[in-house]
Amino acid sequence: MALDLRSDFPILEREVNGHPLIYLDNAATTQRPERVIEAVSRFYRELNANVHRGIHYLSREASELYEGAHEALAQFINADFREVVFTSNTTDSLNMIAWGWALRNVAEGDRIVTTVMEHHSNMLPWRTVAELRGAEVVYADVDDEGMPLMKQLESLIDERTRLVAISGMSNVTGAIPDVGRVVRAAHQVGAVAVLDGAQMVPHMPVDVRQLGVDFLAFSGHKMLGPTGTGVLYGRLDLLEEMTPPRPGGGTIRDVTLEGVDWASLPWRHEGGTPNIAGAIGLAEAARYLMDVGMEAVREHEKELTRRGLEMLSSIDGVILYGPKDVERRGGIIAFNIEGMDPHMVGALLDSRGIAVRTGLHCAHPLHRRLGAEEGTVRASFYLYNTLEEVKVLAEALREIASLA
């Protein structure tokens, strides 16, 4: 059954260029429901204070809400609250793994395995670690639909491999690889499995115990939460072992001139004053999604994607990228129109009030592999989008394609 949640999102009442806003740029950032906006506003209006640094009432109340936010996100992914570290975004989370764990555990001659599908944020930190430690990064190729070649990926994971990093859903094609299979291959050789969940976590049920991943990174702003918020999930023993990548205020129990006694988890990995209001807003976003149900979110997006692919594939000149089977992809449709620059297509859609993303989407190697060197147009759906909006997109593209 289609979700009917639009009244929860004030921005969807806007008009853009004389048309009702059709927001299809959810893979870049999502909109916020009123209750998330209110949670952030209430913090600043009524109880603004620093956390874990005062005995006065406001500080105690802020600290309780901040700690409760960790509990909410832990529930959202089925983790222990001690395994939930708040960060700025997915990129920040992945870099924390790189500097806190990989830099101290990857040695000369070791191997890091990832894929051509990855967002730059799940490529560049591992390259830097490899350069500093004398290790190598190797990439599994993808097929013509953008899906990682699993047999090739497994063949690259050998006894030298210390870390395997993969995205749970491509931010370009929406391709959803078999994460469990990747995790099993990594664990067979004693490697750590890192999951970039930026696109996966907001759009489908994610259970870290079921997946068996060692680290998971995701962003708040892609799941109805405030910008500048993110989560690093790490297996408890790995977070205990991991050196705080940002040591300083809030990360310690005691410091002497000779040494340091780190704070308990997760606080040892959250140096300095955190984004308290953002964390409270992110927790409210997680609760909102749990109230809706992530299975319902996934089914809603699958239906929009299925119908969108049907409609766009019937338009002469439209080139579609990604798996044809909606069971193997998320709510993302990347496309081009033959003979037209993707940015021009995006601008023409914007003139009709339709917001999409154009360009290379921080995934240059994948675009080159798919033969889309100039980039793609990306329409991405979320729980508040409707079939009617998909129809309007298709009608607009039919008109635009006739201009090519």
Answer yes or no: do 13 and 69 share one domain.
Answer: no
- Whether 180 is covered by a domain: the verdict is yes
Name residue, tokens 């391709």. Answer: 175
Residue where one domain finishes, among candidates 269, 291, 313: 291
Separation CA 271–CA 282 (nearest Å): 19
User: Helices 387-401 and 342-350, interaxial angle, to 10°?
Assistant: 120
Separation CA 281–CA 278 (nearest Å): 5
- Whether 127 is covered by a domain: the verdict is yes
Answer yes or no: do 205 and 341 share one domain.
Answer: no
Answer yes or no: do 271 and 386 share one domain.
Answer: no
User: What is the span of the domain harbouring residue 121?
Assistant: 36-291
Could you give the strand order of the β-sheet that contains 230-234, starting from the edge strand earlier in sequence?
84-87, 230-234, 215-219, 192-196, 161-167, 111-115, 136-140
Omega before residue 247 within 30° of 0, cis: no
Q: Give Cβ neighbours of residue 294 (< 8 Å, ≥ 6 apart).
A: 203, 204, 205, 206
Answer yes or no: do 178 and 219 share one domain.
Answer: yes
Contact in structure between 30 and 222 (CB atoms under 8 Å): yes
DSSP letter for each residue of 166-197: EESS-TTT-B---HHHHHHHHHHTTPEEEEE-
CATH number at residue 317: 3.90.1150.10
Separation CA 17–CA 353 (nearest Å): 6
Answer yes or no: do 281 and 235 share one domain.
Answer: yes
Answer yes or no: do 22 and 43 share one domain.
Answer: no
Residue 34 CB coordination number (10 Å): 12
Answer yes or no: do 25 and 41 share one domain.
Answer: no
CATH number at residue 92: 3.40.640.10
Residue where one domain finishes, among candidates 291, 322, 354: 291
Answer yes or no: do 237 and 315 share one domain.
Answer: no
Residue where one domain finishes, among candidates 245, 275, 291: 291
Q: How many domains does the chain have?
A: 2
Answer yes or no: do 138 and 77 share one domain.
Answer: yes
- Whether 282 is covered by a domain: the verdict is yes
- Which of the residues are catalytic? 362
CA atoms within 13 A on the CB side of 89: 11
Tens of each residue's pLDDT in the chain, 404 residues: 578 899 999 999 999 999 999 999 999 999 999 999 999 999 999 999 999 988 999 999 999 999 999 999 999 999 999 999 999 999 999 999 999 999 999 999 999 999 999 999 999 999 999 999 999 999 999 999 999 999 999 999 999 999 999 999 999 999 999 999 999 999 999 999 999 999 999 999 999 999 999 999 999 999 999 999 999 999 999 999 999 999 998 898 999 999 999 999 999 999 999 999 999 999 999 999 999 999 999 999 999 999 999 999 999 999 999 999 999 999 999 999 999 999 999 999 999 999 999 999 999 999 999 999 999 999 999 999 999 999 999 999 999 999 97
